[in-house]
Structures are given as structure tokens and as C-alpha cells.
């Protein structure tokens, strides 16, 4: 059984617990999440897979159950403990009975204030980057009795880091503000030159802000936001969708862009949906 993000909304809305980050955390963390698969494993004892579109940022995975398999393009990784997952690639997660995952979906990780980390060095694979989070905190998360308790532990942890480094927010503030503003206005073709002029910095400096914070260029980040918003709009309200809302020349331009963000495996999974989109 395959579940595809955006197309199988009931699965992703009802089988994943989510909590949006609040206050100062919202600039860095999109949301906390946790799987809720017990009933599904009864229905699918041989397991199932979830296919996800690319996204901006990273996810820190903490395994609360048995090992599962995460696939980025053609590479497969056994997730036994925890790992740092770049989200700008399409991915498929293969779940089997006993799997339970907790995750932090970062826009930008607050760890940039504590350690000299250039996230562009961690954009190709899943990394067991234990030093990105205090191991004592991870142990508390694993021992916690509920999703709400895990969210509280990590919120307190990251809020303290942000408070200690309040004067060092400019690079992160610039990147997150650009992403939020462009997504709100559906303005995804703005040039790096225009953006850097807006903030009074050089294009090289702004590109460094993006690559250090998110691991990818400003153009790549904005195009990921663009295709995600377009697909979400189409699947939620197909009758109201128009390609020019998102700056596409025509419908085939939109479909071409969609396929550029999918791997061979996810294209195969999406074939019946792509046919519907073409219709």
C-alpha cells in the first residue's frame, strides 16, 4: 500500500500527530510530528509506504520503535536510532509493524547558534548527526509518555537556545522572512539580486545565508515552495486551480515542473494521479 502526500490527505492528516511551533520557535521550526500507525498495521500487516514531495529545511527523526527504511531517490537507509534528514529531495518511507517515529520539521535549526554548521554539507544523505541535539534531551524524548510531553521537552530546549542568542538572528530572520513573504504572495521567480537589494546585502552574502541555513540556494528553496503550494491548491480545490496563480505559463509547464521534483520511484507511485492531473 502506498500513501502519497497531498493525494491521500486522510492518511497524512489522521495518522500523523502534528503540533505547529509557536512564538519564537515558529521562525525555526515548522512543526513537531509523530506517527500513529497501530490500526494501519492491523490492516496492512506486511507494511506500507509513504511518499512525500520535496520540502524546504530538514527533519530530525527520532526512532521510538523498530527500525524503518527511508529512501531518498535510489538510496535506502535503515533508521534505527535518529538521523538528520534533508527535505529538499522526494522521499519514500517504508513502514513495517512496530515502527514509531517522532520528528522535528525545521525551517532552520537553532543549532546554528551553538555550533559552526554549514547545512549545505548535509544535503545529499541522511546523517546520524548526534551532535546536533543534546543526547540527554533525546533520551528524555524517548522516555516521555506522550506526544505532548515530547513537544514540551523540545520546545523548552530550543526556546532556551534562541533566548541565549537573541542578538544573532539576522541571517535566519532574513531567510525565513523571504520564504514566508514569497509563499504568501505566490512570488517565486524573484531574483537573488532583487532580494539582496531589498535587505541591503550582497548577492553572495544572501546566498550564503540560504545555503548555510537551509542547505540549498534561494532559487531551489523558492521553487520547492512553489510546486508544493501548486499541488496542494490543485488537490484541495481542483475547480478553482489555475496555473498562472503560481507563475506557470500553461498547464504543461506546471506538470513539467512537478516531474522535476520527483524521483523515478515517486513518479511510478504517482502515475495514476499524474494522469488525473493531465485530465
Domains contained in the chain, CATH given: 2-167 (2.60.120.10)
pLDDT in tens, the chain (279 residues): 888 888 888 999 999 999 999 888 888 889 999 999 999 999 999 999 998 888 888 888 899 999 988 887 777 888 888 877 888 878 889 999 999 999 999 887 666 555 555 555 555 555 555 556 788 888 999 999 999 999 999 999 988 888 887 766 778 888 888 998 998 898 998 899 999 999 999 999 999 888 877 878 899 999 999 999 998 888 888 888 888 889 898 888 888 888 777 655 555 555 555 555 554
Edge-to-edge strands, sheet with 48-52: 2-4, 48-52, 91-95, 68-72, 75-79
Where are the extended beta strands (E) located within the chain? 2-4, 16-20, 29-35, 48-52, 58-63, 68-72, 75-79, 82-86, 91-95, 101-106
CA dihedral 88, 3, 180, 57 (to 10 degrees): -30
Rounded CA gap, 128 and 126, in Å?
A: 7
Rounded CA gap, 166 and 26, in Å?
A: 14
Query: For residues 233 and 241, is the Cβ–Cβ distance under 8 A?
Result: yes
**Nearest to residue 123, comparing CAs of 205, 214, 190?**
214
Rounded CA gap, 218 and 134, in Å?
A: 30
First to last CA, the chain: 24
Amino acid at each position: 500500500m502506498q500513501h502519497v502526500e497531498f493525494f491521500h490527505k486522510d492518511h497524512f492528516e489522521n495518522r500523523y500527530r502534528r503540533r505547529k511551533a509557536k512564538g519564537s520557535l515558529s521562525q525555526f521550526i515548522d512543526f513537531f510530528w509523530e506517527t500513529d500507525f497501530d490500526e494501519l498495521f492491523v490492516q496492512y500487516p506486511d507494511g506500507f509506504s509513504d511518499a512525500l514531495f520535496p520540502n524546504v529545511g530538514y527533519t530530525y527523526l527520532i526512532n521510538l520503535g523498530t527500525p524503518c527504511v527511508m529512501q531518498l531517490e535510489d538510496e535506502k537507509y535503515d533508521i534505527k536510532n535518529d538521523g538528520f534528514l534533508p527535505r529538499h529531495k522526494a522521499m519514500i518511507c517504508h513502514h513495517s509493524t512496530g515502527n514509531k517515529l517522532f520528528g522535528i520539521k525545521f525551517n532552520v535549526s537553532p543549532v546554528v547558534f551553538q555550533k559552526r554548521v554549514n547545512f549545505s554539507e548535509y544535503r545529499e544523505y541522511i546523517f546520524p548527526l548526534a551532535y546536533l541535539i543534546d543526547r540527554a534531551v533525546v533520551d528524555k524524548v524517548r522516555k516521555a509518555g506522550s506526544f505532548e510531553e515530547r513537544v514540551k521537552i523540545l520546545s523548552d530546549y530550543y526556546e532556551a537556545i534562541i533566548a541565549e542568542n537573541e542578538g544573532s538572528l539576522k541571517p535566519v530572520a532574513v531567510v525565513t522572512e523571504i520564504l514566508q513573504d514569497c509563499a504568501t504572495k505566490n512570488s517565486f521567480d524573484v531574483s537573488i539580486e532583487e532580494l539582496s537589494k531589498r535587505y541591503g546585502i550582497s548577492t553572495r552574502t544572501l546566498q550564503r545565508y540560504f545555503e548555510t541555513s537551509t542547505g540549498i540556494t534561494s532559487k531551489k528553496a523558492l521553487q520547492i515552495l512553489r510546486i508544493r503550494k501548486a499541488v496542494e491548491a490543485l488537490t484541495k480545490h481542483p475547480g478553482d486551480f489555475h496555473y498562472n496563480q503560481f507563475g506557470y505559463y500553461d498547464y504543461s509547464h506546471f506538470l513539467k515542473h512537478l516531474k522535476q521534483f520527483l524521483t523515478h520511484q515517486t513518479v511510478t507511485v504517482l502515475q495514476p494521479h499524474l494522469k488525473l492531473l493531465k485530465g
